[in-house]
Structure 1
Amino acid sequence: MHPRPTLRGVHAPVLVTFVASLALVLAGCGGSAIDPKTAARANNLGLTSGNGQQVTSVNGPVSSNGPVVSDGATNGPSGSSTGGPGGPSGQGTSGPGAPAAPGGASCAGFKNSKGITNDTLRIGNSSDISGPVPGLFTAAQQATAAYVNYFNSTGGRICGRKLQLDLYDSHTDAGGDQIAYAKGCESDFAMVGSMSAFDSGGAKTAESCGIPDIRAISTTVERGTCKTCFSAQPAGPDAFQNAVPDFIKRRTGGKNAAMLYINVGASAANGKSQAQHMAKRGMHYVVNQGIDITDFNYSPYVQQMKEKNVQSVQFIASSAQFVRLAQAMVSLDFHPKVVMLDPSAYNSDFTGPGGSAVVGTYVFMNFVPFEEASRNPEITLYERYLQQVAPGAKPTFFGLFAWSSTRLFVQQAVKLGGKLNRASLIASMRGVDNWTSNGAHAPQHVGSKKIGDCWRFIQWNGKAWVPVEGRAYHCDGLTY
């Protein structure tokens, strides 16, 4: 039995998607509300295995199963190839005659530094691979490796250097995160695409050594305030997007709302704070109720909502608990106008076991649903190269933002050209705003670290997730 990690410092209302679920996963040894096999299925066919902190190193085209796309493969959508083929960029540590980086600044004056040789530029990724839920954020490493594969195999170069990726396991533990970042500080130019439930551990280490840390998503206050750390999806201050309560109000007027949450750590904090924020936006909650993690009988909560004529239900929990509530609602013939869940319900572990009981559920999200990949070249590109590094793996929310953060790193590095070093990259990141990774997700305020206010909605019809109120994002501001 391992010591239970602390949830101190987890962003409260913003990152419901994963923090609340992690609160359930890590609530105690043997007390997880999520079967470890669930995460393993979601992140099937990981890149690596083995013990120790550093998992593996990826240089050039990568795969967990044989060769992959060769040089000369078709590039992605217009504007997606941020590096492009580049000639040799000087044989020394600098060179005034170095060629310009395609799409970027001149490489004149480029100097090798930590993690950079004449041929390669090393980046690291530290994500939760082992721990209470094996493979929790394997998707983040798969997606980072997928972008490295895409960049290298299509001739991409940063002033003549290919990317080399070092993979680290943060073990779903703050201490593991700190150890990984200590190694990354010594070996890599930057850390990219990382995702860890307890990422506070490496925050001080990253800032102290000055390594740029361009994460998929940050999960703790400590990481959010780290001066060298940024995220493709920032966490930001204590705020919540207005698009969600506005959507509900269009259907119920905001009357007789219910907020349920599993009464553990971040889940409880999220439930209370979200209800407070949305009440300021015009929602009227008649039920704001925590459910004990050991409670498997949801009928009393459903009966309470039925007696109070609840018109909309929100629930912060895991997929298994979403299903349990839905089934209890059906058994008690309770049918509110709106059941609204966060993006963690956007998976087959909710729709499969839920069956007819979950039909009609709404989900809010800030990225293009994977069902719409044919309409979005960037999503298609992510899915294509994901199969090159992890055949059979499914695209995920976490993976998409890891892909996005890797593209962002490359874009900024290429733009700096010969001026690229750790300090200049960090300074450049501070100016990034409205980042969408070629339209794969809603605009993100990376440099200012403020959460985005643009969200859209989908609904499960029993066979597929379908868009509601169109495919456009609703950018309705934030409530603090």
Structure 2
Amino acid sequence: MRARRPRWVAPVVVGLTLSLAGSLAACGSQLDPDTVRAANGGGAGVAGDGRLGGDAGAAGTTGTTGDSGAAVGDAGGGAAGAAGPAGGGTTGSGTGGTSRGGSAAAGEDPPPVAAPKGVSCDGFKNGPGITDKTITLANVSDLSGPVPGLFQPAYDGAKAFISYFNATSDICGRKLQLQSYDSRTDAGGDQQGYAKACDSAFAAVGSMSAFDSGGAQTAQSCGLPDIRAAAVTAARAACSTCYGASSVNAATFENAVPDYVLKNYKAAGQKAAMIYLNAGAAAENGKGQVNAMTRRGMKFVYVQGVDVSEFNYAPFVQKLKEKGARYVQALGSYQHGVKLAQAMQQAGYKPDLFMMDVVAYDPGFVQSGGSAVEGTTAFINFVPFEQAGSNNEMGLYLKYLQQVSPGAKPNFFGVFGWSAARLFVTEAVSLGGRLSRQTLLDKVRGVDKWTANGMHAPQYVGSKQTADCWRFLQLSKGRWVPRTNGYLCNGVSSSK
């Protein structure tokens, strides 16, 4: 029987608590279908079997050093990674160049990934999803359902990377093909998509579903490497062949958030409030984040869930005023944040700090919120799109996204869809003729502090632990302005 799906779907993630567990959890909120449809430009066309036609395809991977803030690139045509934050203490690693060797000509994009020295294609064998000319990958994401196009950006991100890869490289003479399956925003659709992927693809990359528990056992049973944008359910996290480019453990939350508040708004941190959507992951994570931030030294005077169908936020704002809350955090969709901000403005109430996670870092939040959301602070775990010029990888993502999906808006899910595809290529190229589903999984299990060439904060892919780095932006005159010099990486606290 197909799992029932709610009328409102949580975009998960980022609520997952970006902490992804911070972000994802935070993001585990419900979205208004009409609003999301407009933001994403409508839904995608889907074949009767849930399969979308399409084929697609990174720049040299490099390390970033947080201690000195200097970026170090490897030889072979790879692009230098973004500089790490001064004193951040985080380290990324990787290789630069191309799977065919050589370097990019002037004016050309640098080739994606170089095979490590000594790696040979001798002994390469075809198998599931692999022919003499192609390696087929699958992406199973929510493209239709209550929120049409919900995770289209994750598919577009993976497709953009594969387009880039195919333009510059190959894996032992084989180009990549990306086959898309629509998980339809329900567990049954996710399971059906992965059943098809098991038979037709070598691996899955960049997938994203609000109900990703459906295909977890299917992927594990057939031994399919599933390198996702992120995992949002306990069942997917437990899958032994499933890994997220955005790593998360919902039982923890990043210390960077409360530490930022206590350092810059100490008094407000002692009179804090959390307003979360009372549904799905947001309900659990709202309370969990309060627990974690309290352990870190904040004090909450008001914690309240708001039903998805609630349109009158005035009573909640009145409570904020009565309790004397000076710090207010909204956990849910950006539409939920806009409603709260508008109610606060109408009541003439302005906290010292209004905080949201990465869901606020969206053109829709700024456009629909107007003056009410001015001054909002948001925490994100990737290079801001406004700073793409400082990171070659982010620049490549934005460039190829427009090539494969003209007019598409970049977002969190797209960043990690691209990152997941790059991670696959990096590990596949390093195996050469030894590439198989099992050897790929063995490699991915050892991936630590993955940054996709400095595109995002280090992620603990192999261990599936919550990544602890955030950077903070504040909305000023309709533009997002950095409030921290790079990332704050301060470990995590239990949210239980």
**Secondary structure in structure 1 of the residue aligned to 2:136:** strand
Q: Residue 170 of structure 1 is aligned with which of 179, 183, 191?
A: 183
Counterpart of 1:382 (choices 397, 404, 419) is 397
Residue of structure 2 in register with 1:24 after alignment: 30
In 2, Cα distance between equivalents of 1:35 and 1:197:
14
Tell me the CA shift for residue 292 of structure 1.
2.3
Alpha-carbon separation, structure 1, partners of 2:319 and 2:260? 24
Distance 1:222 1:82, change over 3 A: farther
Note if contact 2:16-2:24 (Cα within 8 Å) is conserved in structure 1.
no
Indicate whether 1:188 and 2:201 are aligned: yes
Displacement after TM superposition at 1:165 (Å): 1.0
1:188-227 matches, within 5 Å, as 188-227=201-240
Is 1:56 the counterpart of 2:56 in the alignment? no
* Pair 1:235-2:245 in alignment: no
Helix, strand or coil at the partner of 1:58? coil
- Corresponding position of 1:340: 355
C-alpha offsets along residues 185-240 of structure 1, whole Å, 9 cap, x if unaligned?
00110011101110000000000000100000111111111000111001225000
SS at match of 1:24: coil
Separation in structure 1 between the aligned mates of residue 367 and residue 165 of structure 2, nearest angstrom: 36
Query: How many Å separate the matches in 1 of 2:290 and 2:25?
Result: 17
**Structure 2 SS opposite 1:325:** helix
CA distance in 1, matches of 2:488, 2:114: 37
Q: Look up the match of 1:35.
A: 33
In structure 2, C-alpha distance between the alignment counterparts of 1:184 and 1:275, rounded to whole Å: 39
Q: 2:219 is aligned with what amino acid?
A: A
State the shift of 1:161 in Å.
0.7
Partner secondary structure for residue 355 of structure 1 = helix
Look up the SS of the partner of 2:55 in the other structure: strand
Counterpart residue identity of residue 52, structure 2? V
Counting only pairs closer than 5 Å after superposition, residues 299-378 of structure 1 correspond to structure 2 as 299-378=314-393
Match of 1:124 in 2: 138
Shift in Å, 1:262? 1.6
**1:413 maps to amino acid:** A
Structure 1 residue 3 displacement after superposition: 3.7
- Tell me the equivalent position of 2:414: 399
SS in 2 for 1:290: strand
Provide the rounded CA distance (Å) in 2 between the counterparts of 1:46 and 1:436: 30
Unpaired runs of 5+ residues, structure 1, are 26-33, 61-74, 87-99
1:246-285 → structure 2 map (5 Å cutoff): 246-253=259-266, 254-285=269-300
Question: Aligned with 1:166: secondary structure?
Answer: strand
Query: Contact conserved, 1:101 with 1:417, CA < 8 A, in 2?
Result: no
- Which amino acid letter does the alignment assign opposite residue 5 of structure 2? R
Aligned partner of 2:297: which letter?
Answer: G
What is the CA distance between 1:22 and its match in structure 2?
5.3
CA drift at 1:363: 0.2
Amino acid at match of 1:187: S
Q: TM-score by structure 1 length?
A: 0.87
2:53 alignment partner, SS class: strand
Offset of residue 103 of structure 1: 4.0
Q: 1:48 to 1:158 in 2, by over 3 A?
A: farther
Please give the secondary structure, in 2, of the residue aligned with 1:197: coil
Please state whether the residue corresponding to 2:36 is helix, strand or coil: helix
C-alpha displacement of 1:261: 0.8
One-letter code aligned to 1:51: G
Displacement of 1:47 after TM fit? 7.0
Equivalent position amino acid for 1:338 in 2 = L
**Match for 1:115: what amino acid?**
G
> Matches of 2:200 and 2:280 in 1, distance apart?
35
The residue correspondences of 1:290-301 to structure 2 (distance < 5 A) are 290-301=305-316
Q: 1:107 aligns with which of 105, 121, 124?
A: 121
TM-score (norm 2): 0.84
For residues 426 and 254 of structure 2, the distance between their equivalents in structure 1, rounded to whole angstroms, comes to: 28
| Deviation (angstroms), 1:16 | 5.0
**CA drift at 1:5:** 4.7
TM-superposed deviation, 1:469? 2.4
Query: In structure 2, what is the Cα distance between the partners aligned to 1:374 and 1:202?
Result: 38
Aligned partner letter, 1:77: A
- Residue 492 of structure 2 is matched in structure 1 by 478
TM-aligned CA deviation for residue 83 of structure 1:
2.6
Q: Which residue of 2 aligns with 1:83?
A: 99
Opposite residue 54 of structure 1, the aligned amino acid is R
- Structure 2 counterpart of 1:4, one-letter code: R
Is the CA contact (8 Å cut-off) linking 1:240 and 1:277 kept in structure 2? yes
Give the unaligned 5+ runs of structure 2: 58-76, 81-94, 103-112
For 2:42 and 2:250, locate their aligned partners in 1 and report how far apart those are by CA, in whole Å. Answer: 35
Hey, what's the Cα distance between the residues in 2 that align with 1:47 and 1:80?
Answer: 35
What does the per-residue CA deviation read over 1:382-441, in whole Å, with 9 as the maximum and x for residues that have no partner?
011111111111111100100001000000000011111000000110110010001000
Measure the CA separation in 2 of the matches of 1:255 and 1:297: 27
- AA aligned to 1:83 is S
| Corresponding residue for residue 94 of structure 1 | none
Deviates more, 1:342-351 or 1:314-323: 314-323
Shift of residue 76 of structure 1?
Answer: 7.2
Preserved CA contact (<8 Å) 1:127 1:170: yes
CA distance in 1, matches of 2:412, 2:16: 19
2: CA distance, partners of 1:18 / 1:355: 25
Cα distance change, pair 478–20 in 1 and its aligned pair in 2 (3 A): closer
1:14-52 CA-to-partner distances (Å, cap 9, x unmatched) read 445455555424xxxxxxxx133x323433387754433
Going from structure 1 to structure 2, the CA distance change for 1:139 and 1:428 (only over 3 Å counts) comes to same
Indicate whether 1:441 and 2:456 are aligned. yes
Indicate if the aligned counterparts of 1:242 and 1:476 stay in contact, CA closer than 8 A: yes
d(CA) in 2 for partners of 1:4, 1:196: 12
Question: 1-side partners of 2:42 and 2:456: how far apart?
Answer: 25
Contact 1:19–1:267 (CA<8 Å) still a contact in 2? yes
1:77 positional shift: 2.6
Contact 1:101-1:159 at 8 Å conserved across structures: no
Report the alpha carbon displacement of residue 252 of structure 1 after superposing the two structures with TM: 2.9
CA separation of 1:43 and 1:185: change in aligned 2, threshold 3 A: same
Q: CA deviation at 1:282?
A: 0.4
Q: Do 1:5 and 1:173's aligned partners in 2 also have CA atoms closer than 8 Å?
A: no
Alpha-carbon distance change, 150 to 47 in structure 1, aligned in 2, over 3 angstroms: farther
Whole-Å Cα distance in 2 between the matches of residues 43 and 402 of structure 1? Answer: 16
